Structure 1
Amino acid sequence: MVATNASGMRAVKYGATRDYVLGLEVVLADGSVIHVGTNTIKNSSGYQLERLFVGSEGTLGIITEVTLKVAPKPKRSAMVLAAFDRLEDAGKCVSNLISVPLIPSATELMDDICIRAVNKAVKAGLPDVEAICMIEVDGEPDMVAKELKVVEEVARRSGASSVQVSDDSKQMAKWTSARKSVMSALSRLGDELVSVSLADDMAVPISKIPEAVVAFHRIAEENNVIVGTYGHAADGNLHTKMLLDPCSEDSWTRGERAVGQIFDAVISLGGTVTGEHGVGMSKAPYMMRERPDAWRTMLAIKKALDPQDILNPGKLMQWEGGIIRDLRYPCRDLCPR
């Protein structure tokens, strides 16, 4: 989690891993051990090297010890499930919430592909609409009650066709479980299709969410591929899953083209190709496209700390393969020739 600066549903309010790391013990490429950061909340003593290693994906050093700060668990939480007949309106609801301003503890968006997949796979009973937003607020009981009213008003003003509100733990768990089942549910949506993670972790500015989700659907239609869009929308983090025919070369070609277009759309909106999962190999070429000047500086840091390239080589910056050519799914090899 530290090496990828992982985060999740509640990062919009509580932050990512980096926000909780105070200090690290790191083994460098030459075998030396260094300690970076401090045990204090405040620290202005030189470069913040702990932040350099967080999210470095093991390419600069091996993290062997972590000093973290923790946050108290909120006293109460409640959720709103807002249904929208237009995907764009669901995106507008998210940006409208943040501009109120109101910071929810979580805001999960699911499009119609994801809704259909989840309802089929786990009988979730989600509304049959083009998109839904699951919005959670938490904190002191009186504040939660006030924020629920604000969320409901914003959802309706943004075009919600229906709004459900609940503070029942079982109901909230059911909604959350439905959202968490999206990945596995998509893999079972098409009998001859497989769910693949190619353009799966983008992030865009909050104000650009409506444009982004509409662009993803347009790109899917233009390339004749099925794309499910979902994600932690209140911090701009969107995921897409493609359904491709593993035995069709044409399907893979259309998928690869769609991936490039999705990343180009994200970059043009001022976004990033990965919000929480990291770069690894598959996103390295697109990260170079996103940040060409910063990439050269990152490469210089890599060479300074790991001149022989022995720490997780080929990851993050230097991989030049093709996202489809070199990251084939094993099931494709089982297809009849």
Structure 2
Amino acid sequence: MPDALAQLADLLGPRLVTTEADRRLHGQNETWYPETLPSAVAYPETTEEVSAILKICHAKSLPVTAYGAASSLEGQHLALNGGLCLDMARMNRLLSVTPEDLLCVVQPGITRKRLNEELRATGLFFSVDPGADASLGGMAATRASGTTAVRYGTIRENILGLEVVLADGTVIRTGSHARKSATGYDLTHLMIGSEGTLGIITEMTVRLHGQPEAVAAATCRFGSVEEAVNCVILTIQSGIPMARIELLDQFMVRGFNLYSKSALPEVPHLFLEFHGSSAAVAEQMASFGEIAEEFGVSGWQTATQAEERNALWAMRHNAHYASAALGAGAGGGHVWPTDTCVPISRLAEAVTWAQEKTVEMGLTATIVGHVGDGNFHVGLSVDPEDKAVMARAESFAHALGEKALSLGGTVSGEHGIGIGKQHFMADEHGTAVATMRAIKTALDPTNILNPGKLLPPA
């Protein structure tokens, strides 16, 4: 390792950092995983530098963990085996915009908020909104989703092509600027969701969407989680083109009241958003209102001004911290986040099961979700020093994954696998895990790329 770090220092100069402060900064995470320090942190600025870095690390078998905005919730960015943390923050440019084709080319370190700020004058926007101001490279690597996926799709549907540096430093390009292709293996989508285990993304061609003429947000409440979820199911089945439709159970609302100083009634809510022409938005809201009446909706409030809408979604995007605030009051303060995604027809069963199970197990928990596509999150309040609580949290997370699989779903619709869900890979994918291992071995024979993540130990 000293020889590899010396070569990297010759290549990068002061952009290779080994101070404890920088290493500790890159060893932290948003959840309960213990601090994990890399041996050094590199700050590349070009694809050529990333390629040169990986050539050195491949030759010296030095582990490499890519690092974006560190907002992942399954520890994907933690350097479990030490080695090099590859911080992509300096590769953060919008390289080109082609408005006629509704696409742009970006470097991986640009964040979604900054990208949309730079796109504002074009009348276009990048749609994927996972809540955190994540980097686009990290979003691609973890196959991010978010509040707008119900209408605009996940990151998977919004990437046309990639530039990727493989473990040995080889640079490849996947996809093109065309909307579809029938040539060769689909390497673009192989890399999306690979969590930095197959290559380092250095450039992305992403889809853009036209900014809607009119936008309206709304909140409403229900007597139970089941009524709220059944309202969502019928809304989606009726074909109403919702831009966002988010569920909050009563405990999540309590967390919002604590963290955001809101004064929402502590009952299940839906947060909604409608996009389109003024007439289309009015029609969508009326159609949703008719469906919601069937499920006892009350407390309808509309927000059409940008400041009101931004405040509403800022509160929703802070759900992780609101869960922590709720847990702090219960003696915790850390959050064990987990998520699943199930067929929309089984969503009510899955959510009510999760709510009842946390109560049965004596866990303080919040439920919030992008329920328009069957994805919901459970935030468990934990104290890493309390072994009994941690054991119950782990037991619940495992039971929730098993429940999702039994309903025809997946153990993660958004957070990914990382460290925490590797034990589910065989249950969900069966013998396909061996195929995944073969791909990993072919592309990364020395296992330097984010070792210890995604695939379970052989």
- SS at the partner of 2:300? strand
Taking the aligned partners of 2:388 and 2:314, their CA distance within structure 1 comes to: 35
How far the C-alpha of 1:110 sits from its partner, in A, is 0.5
Superposed CA offset, 1:55-114 (max 9, x none):
111111111121222111111111231201111111111111101111201011100111
* Partner residue of 2:433 out of 281, 286, 295: 295
Superposed CA offset, 1:132-184 (max 9, x none):
01111101111111001011111111232332233233332232222222211
Alignment of 1:208-287 (within 5 A): 208-287=346-425
Alignment of 1:75-94 (within 5 A): 75-94=213-232
Superposed CA offset, 1:287-316 (max 9, x none):
322222322221221122222212111111
Aligned to 1:333: none
Greater C-alpha radius of gyration: 2
Aligned to 2:148: 10
Aligned to 1:51: 189
Quick one: structure 1 residues 143 and 229, their matched pair in 2 at CA, closer, same or farther if it must change by over 3 Å? same
- SS at the partner of 1:158? coil
* Partner residue of 2:317 out of 180, 184, 206: 180
How far the C-alpha of 1:115 sits from its partner, in A, is 0.5
Amino acid at match of 2:336: S
Superposed CA offset, 1:218-248 (max 9, x none):
2112211111100111111111111124442
Aligned to 1:133: 270
Range 119-128 or range 11-20, more displaced: 119-128
* Partner residue of 1:197 out of 336, 339, 342: 336
Contact 1:288 1:317 in 2 (8 A): no
Contact 1:155 1:163 in 2 (8 A): no
* Partner residue of 1:122 out of 260, 267, 273: 260
Q: CA RMSD in A?
A: 1.7
Contact 2:256 2:319 in 1 (8 A): yes
- SS at the partner of 1:2? helix
- SS at the partner of 1:187? helix
- Unpaired runs of at least 5, structure 2: 1-138
Range 289-298 or range 136-145, more displaced: 289-298
Contact 1:83 1:132 in 2 (8 A): yes
Contact 2:158 2:206 in 1 (8 A): yes
Taking the aligned partners of 2:241 and 2:336, their CA distance within structure 1 comes to: 29
Amino acid at match of 1:183: H
Quick one: structure 1 residues 32 and 247, their matched pair in 2 at CA, closer, same or farther if it must change by over 3 Å? closer
Contact 1:201 1:277 in 2 (8 A): yes
What TM-score, normalized to structure 2? 0.67
How far the C-alpha of 1:319 sits from its partner, in A, is 4.7
Taking the aligned partners of 1:172 and 1:247, their CA distance within structure 2 comes to: 39
Contact 2:217 2:304 in 1 (8 A): yes
Taking the aligned partners of 2:184 and 2:252, their CA distance within structure 1 comes to: 47
Aligned to 1:317: 455
What TM-score, normalized to structure 1? 0.89
Contact 2:340 2:377 in 1 (8 A): yes
Range 108-117 or range 180-189, more displaced: 180-189
Taking the aligned partners of 1:122 and 1:26, their CA distance within structure 2 comes to: 40
Taking the aligned partners of 1:211 and 1:304, their CA distance within structure 2 comes to: 41
Superposed CA offset, 1:266-307 (max 9, x none):
111111111122211111112322222322221221122222
Taking the aligned partners of 2:293 and 2:218, their CA distance within structure 1 comes to: 11
Count residues in correspondence: 318
Greater relative CO (CA pairs within 8 A, separation 6+): 1
Aligned to 2:287: 150
Taking the aligned partners of 1:18 and 1:110, their CA distance within structure 2 comes to: 26
Aligned to 1:325: none
Range 238-247 or range 266-275, more displaced: 238-247
